[in-house]
């Protein structure tokens, strides 16, 4: 089993990278993860594992990443600062590296009020940018926060998220710059439906030279139904779904909506592929991993570069 980051390899070799997402189950069954692993294997370069997304208790991201690793995939460990203080975050980075996990995505996390534990204490000891900086210090300098040295450095390809659709627009690129300055090697964005706004964000990032310093992966999510599109537009914070996307979904009969959602997604990827400054796509097919293979093939991104077999 390779202990190198396949995602890093693909990106540094200048290939257009493809990542997908795997949501862990609300239960302890390893087979759920291994089934998703079979659906995604060889279709994408790396697979993000979400960390108690929407603040709902699920199998831990670290454990699910370890399972993906045994199945031969390159996992991206998502870690939120909502649930762990700096002691625990740094400890889990060491543990993840020891397990052969080579990618981490450092996030704030959905606020606990949205999940099934609204009584929980939100930790937020570090913010996501400070967390990126901490991981970089551990990896490059072998130092933890406070300056103590490690006797073995973790090996991590460090990621962060960006939302080009949140406010204030002008400041979104400042925050991107801070994440990259903190040490982000790659950036995965919020789902892109409003490509025009994404392009104006991207051109600001290009102007600041940021796309030369980190790999930007555009986020896409295939829409399953017009209901899902409407829900995301109105209920999910920081999500920008233009009316013409909703109208397009409304314009097809219910049984054809999944296919239309996949088409919209493929078209977005084709447009992203042409943009200078975009190094890949991150396909978040929420509880719809079956769709990923078709999307990758139709977007002309299959087959994927083969990993080096160590």
Q: Which residues bind another protein (CB under 8 A)?
A: 82, 86, 108-109, 111, 113, 122, 124-130, 133-134, 145, 161-163, 165-168, 171, 174-175, 177-178, 181-182, 190, 237-238
Nearer to another protein, 180 or 296 (CB): 180
| Residue entry with tokens 């399972």 | 67
63, 95 Cβ separation under 8 angstroms? no
Minimum separation from the CB atom of position 14 to another protein (A) = 29
Beta bridge partners, 18, equal: 281
271 backbone dihedrals φ, ψ, rounded to 5°: -70, -40
**Angle between the N-to-C axes of helices 257-273 and 243-250, in degrees from 0 to 180, rounded to the nearest 10:** 140
Q: What phi and psi, each to the nearest 5 degrees, are found at residue 158?
A: -100, 130
Q: Is the CB of 78 or the CB of 257 nearer to another protein?
A: 78
The residue among 161 and 232 lying less far from another protein, judged by its C-beta, is: 161
Label the pairing between strands 17-22 and 103-107. unpaired
Degrees, nearest 5: CA angle 164-8-147: 85
Nearer to another protein, 178 or 273 (CB): 178
Shortest approach of another protein to residue 52 CB, angstroms? 15
Nearest approach, Cβ of residue 201 and another protein (Å): 12
Shortest Å distance, C-beta 129 to another protein = 4
Report the residue number, 167 or 274, with the smaller CB distance to another protein: 167
Q: How far is the CB of 113 from another protein (least distance, A)?
A: 6
Q: Which helix (H) or strand (E) element contains residue 103? A: strand 103-107
Shortest Cβ 182–another protein spacing (Å): 6
Q: How far is CA 3 from CA 59, 157, 307, 310, in A?
A: 23, 12, 11, 8
Which C-beta is closer to another protein: that of 125 or that of 294? 125
Neighbouring residues of 22: CB distance < 8 A, sequence distance ≥ 6 = 33, 36, 37, 40, 47, 48, 49, 50, 64, 68, 289
Nearer to another protein, 164 or 307 (CB): 164
Report CA dihedral (105, 111, 115, 119) to the nearest 10 degrees: 130
CB of 186 to another protein, least distance (A): 17
Q: Which tokens is 72 given?
A: 């031969």
DSSP state of 7: H
Q: In this structure, what DSSP letter does residue 167 have?
A: S
Greatest alpha-carbon span in the chain: 61
The residue (of 16 and 201) whose beta carbon lies closer to another protein is: 201
**Minimum CB–partner distance for residue 298 and another protein (Å):** 29
């Amino acid at each position: 089993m390779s202990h190198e980051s396949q995602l890093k390899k693909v990106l540094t070799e200048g290939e257009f990278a493809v990542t997908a997402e795997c949501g862990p189950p609300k239960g302890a069954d390893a087979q759920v993860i291994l089934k998703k692993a079979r659906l995604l294997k060889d279709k994408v370069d790396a697979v993000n594992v979400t960390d108690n997304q929407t603040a709902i208790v699920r199998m831990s991201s670290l454990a699910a990443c370890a399972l993906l690793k045994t199945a031969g995939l390159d996992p991206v460990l998502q870690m939120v600062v909502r649930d762990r203080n700096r002691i625990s975050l740094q400890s889990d980075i060491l543990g993840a590296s020891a397990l052969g996990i080579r990618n981490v995505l450092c996030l704030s996390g959905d606020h606990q009020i949205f999940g099934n534990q609204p009584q929980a204490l939100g930790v937020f000891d570090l913010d996501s940018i400070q967390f990126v900086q901490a991981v970089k210090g551990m990896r490059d300098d072998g130092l933890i926060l406070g300056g103590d040295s490690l006797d073995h450095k973790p090996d991590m390809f460090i990621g962060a998220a960006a939302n080009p659709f949140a406010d204030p627009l002008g400041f979104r690129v400042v925050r991107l710059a801070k994440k990259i300055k903190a040490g982000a090697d790659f950036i995965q964005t919020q789902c892109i439906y409003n490509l025009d706004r994404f392009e104006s964000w991207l051109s600001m990032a290009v102007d600041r030279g940021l796309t030369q310093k980190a790999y930007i992966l555009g986020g896409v999510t295939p829409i399953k139904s017009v209901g899902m599109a409407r829900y995301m537009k109105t209920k999910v914070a920081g999500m920008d779904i233009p009316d013409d996307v909703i109208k397009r979904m409304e314009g097809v009969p219910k049984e054809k909506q999944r296919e239309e959602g996949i088409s919209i997604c493929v078209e977005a990827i084709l447009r992203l592929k042409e943009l200078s400054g975009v190094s890949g796509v991150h396909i978040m097919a929420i509880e719809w991993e079956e769709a990923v293979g078709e999307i990758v093939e139709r977007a002309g991104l299959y087959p994927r570069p083969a990993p080096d077999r160590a």
